[in-house]
Structure 1
Amino acid sequence: MRFSGAGLGRTTGSDHFNAFPVSIIICAHRAHKQLEYNLPFVLCQSYPEWELIVVNDGGDFATDDLLKNYQSAYPNLRTVSIEKKRTGKKDAIAAGVASARYSWLLLTDADCRPATTQWIWTMMATRSKTTQLVIGYSPIEKKIGLRNELIRFESLFTAIQYFSAARSGHVYMGVGRNLLYHKSLFSLTNLVPEHPSGDDDLFIQRVATAEVTEVCAEPAAWVWTDAAISWKTFFMQKMRHYSASRHYSLKSQTRLTLYFVSLGVFYAGIIMSLATGLTIPAITLFILRTTCMIPVFRTEANGGGQPDLQLKFIYLEPVYLLFICIQLPFLLFYKNHRFWN
């Protein structure tokens, strides 16, 4: 697994492209407050022809009232209400896609907000003649505290991995907070019906190839979101993500496993060396690796809108690894049965 070449913040699009109409789809489940804050950022987009479809997953009355108020001022806002019949957001995505008037679909979530009014434009400009899927970048808003630092680090760390992998021809994941694809790619058969989470990752696993996929990490196309509000929420989010990764291809699972195993072996070796009195070799090895990693991480942290994390990598990486180790025993017995938010 590569830890360089993600190109976060890099300009890749063209000013000359066919500005096909776009359908933005937001799946919302009990998300009245999030929509109230974030919808204005979506509705102010500058693009020739587009619509916004908000799927009210579960038919929440507060959400329905809010959307009706917005519709009076924004005729391109359309709503779809569905009954919650099963876990996950597969039904909501399917309803949104079925209601879309246009062939290009741009997905985000209720708790997300585009960084600029050029979000649609920049994502669409990334396409080439063969592109059917564009993976976007979605950073976490900065707040005070270790939990926020760790969540932002994990999000950036993950983005570096899947962006660099995609740029090298191995497309294995993306985030539904910022994902553009052609309607022809969508099929209910491309969603794993027996798994309630990981819809976006598993969709990409089934349809994405290097030939039809581009990545867009330009700041104008970023979609910001908020960190989990508690350690428990973050813990459960990651449990859902890890459980979904069981459905990744063998190649993707092997790459990810080898990377994290090698990381674990490195830190275990450092701890064992310190415990057995090999202090100087342990410190030397740690300094050498850190010296090599910091310049790479600094570039991506600056490019990915998280400049304050560039030196915090020194302690956030082992904390992140410890967090994963704590989760491993729970993952063996984890049953993903909760509704998504």
Structure 2
Amino acid sequence: MIIYIFIAFIVIICIQFVYYIFIFGSFVWFKNIPPKNYFNQPVSVLICAKNEAENLKKNIPFFTNQNYPLFELVLINDASSDNTLKIMRQFKEEASVSIKIINIITPKSKKNALAQGIKDASYEHLLFSDSDCKPLSKNWITEMASNFNSQHKIVLGFGSYKKIKKSILNKLIRFETLLTAIQYFSYSKIGIPYMGVGRNLAYTKSLFYSVNGFAKHLKIKSGDDDLFINQTAIKKNTTICYSKDSYTESSPKTTFKSWIQQKRRHISTAAYYKPLHKFLLAFFYSSQILFWILGTILLLNLYKWPIIIFLIFIRFLFLYVIIGFSAKKLNETDLILLIPFYEIFLIFVQMFIFIKNLISKPTHW
């Protein structure tokens, strides 16, 4: 029996090697070469908000102060019950850039609200973020929009989370965000784009209407970002942008419970991905679980333990290389030291969320 576990462990190591070196490595070895074309087309920046008055107060100035020749800010009030609409109107009166306000009176869903904003946006090229986000540079629009061209209709950006000192939860949240970014950037580089994040995402209005908007998954409460990209993104029409001036930064959850609720909503959309994407993501997650389970069994039984320790060392070596270099690219180097701890934690969290979502579906966005 133990020999079969040993053989299975070797197979799992090989599978992990393929994922980290040949898939995730595509992002590590890829150089972010600035586009040759100078893009100066007008851009509509869309932000959908529901009861986000305080976040809008803090973050709208970062959007209005962009160094870009021509853009508009489309603020969508999704039937808020607080002062969200009032704050939007104040900025519209005071700002030196064009601000368009879309006021949704009857609450339906974020996708309905966002679709209305897209319809009313003045320009073809759309750039999306959230009300709890802010661009980390005045060149955010320039960096993201410059990746549009005759082929590229989708630009996947990086949405980071604010760093909070001495917070283990904050590091766990940022590690999960880092690993997710490594995956969607890497799959895009090998020609299998499968998702993006609404905190930092761009696509064209014509692409949106060519697939009838969110119609295919309108009844699913989440997925205005990843499900839309999963539906429309292909190798030829998608590119990535991870230059430091292109980042956005969001306010992270500060309690474990609120973060789990957020992740339950995000993970629930994965069930609607294309079969190939679901297989690749599930296969990687399964290989992570089996690595820890099989490795632990073999070490406890002291079966060929020098070989097992050597294989574990090799696995962690390329784990640190791939995630470490990726973390350096995305300015998350403080996460490198405790990578194994974060990995184990995420395995259990994802398993808990998967089981929880089977029992009851998350109902709010």
Indicate whether the TM-score tops 0.5. yes
User: What secondary structure is seen at the aligned counterpart in 1 of 2:94?
Assistant: coil
Distance 2:128 2:72 in 1: 12
The 8 Å contact of residues 7 and 163 in structure 1, kept in 2 or not, is answered as no
Residues 50, 61 of structure 1: alpha-carbon distance in 2 compared, 3 angstrom cutoff: same
Pick from 98, 116, 125: which aligns with 1:76? 98
Preserved CA contact (<8 Å) 2:115 2:214: no
Q: Deviations over 1:177-230 (max 9, x none)?
A: 111111001133555022101221110111111111111111111111122121
Q: Which deviations, in whole Å up to 9, do the C-alpha atoms of 1:149-188 show, x marking residues without a partner?
A: 1110000001001101001100100001111111001133
**Deviates further, 197-206 or 268-277:** 268-277
Matching residue within 322, 329, 338 for 1:296 = 322
CA gap 1:254/1:216 in 2 versus in 1, 3 angstroms: same
Q: Percent of pairs identical after alignment?
A: 30
- Kindly provide the CA deviation profile for residues 57-108 of structure 1, in whole angstroms up to 9, marking residues without a partner as x: 0144411221222112215112111034334x11111111011011111010
Q: Give the aligned partner of residue 192 of structure 2.
A: 170
2:277 partner SS? helix
1:243 to 262, 268, 274: 268
The more displaced of 62-71 and 175-184 is 62-71
Distance 1:289 1:210 in 2: 30
Quick check: 1:113–1:223 contact (8 Å CA) kept in 2?
yes
SS in 2 for 1:54: strand
Equivalence for 1:205 = 230
**For residue 222 of structure 1, what is the aligned residue in structure 2?**
247
The alpha carbon displacement at 1:15 in A equals 5.5
2:35 counterpart (8, 14, 18): 14
- SS of 2:26's partner is coil
Change (3 A) 1:191 1:33: farther
- Aligned residue number for residue 64 of structure 2: 43
Runs of 4+ in 1 over 4 A off after TM superposition: 7-10, 278-282
Provide the rounded CA distance (Å) in 2 between the counterparts of 1:60 and 1:51: 25
The TM-score normalised by the length of structure 1 is: 0.94
Asked if the contact 1:239/1:334 (under 8 Å) is kept, the reply is: no
Superposed CA offset, 1:228-258 (max 9, x none): 1211111111111221001000000000010
2:299 maps to which of 274, 285, 293: 274
Decide whether the 8 Å contact of 2:155 with 2:201 is kept in 1. yes
- Cα distance in 1, alignment partners of residues 77 and 38 from structure 2: 33
Residue 323 of structure 1 corresponds to 349
Structure 1 position 29, deviation (Å): 0.6
Q: CA RMSD in A?
A: 1.8
Aligned residue identity for 1:194:
K
Distance in 2 (CA, whole Å) between partners of 1:141 and 1:15 is 31
Match of 2:312 among 286, 296, 309: 286
8 Å CA contact retained: 1:190, 1:206: no
What are the residue-to-residue correspondences of 1:113-262 with 2, within 5 Å?
113-143=134-164, 144-186=166-208, 187-262=212-287
**2 CA distance for matches of 1:294 and 1:300?**
10
Residue in structure 1 matched with residue 5 of structure 2 by the alignment: none
Count of residue correspondences:
338
Return the TM-score normalized by structure 2.
Answer: 0.88
Deviation at 1:4, TM superposition (A): 2.0
1:300-340 CA-partner distances (Å, limit 9, x unpaired): 001111011122212211111121122232121231322x2
What SS does the corresponding residue of 2:156 show, helix, strand or coil? Answer: strand
Unaligned runs of 5+ in 2: 1-18
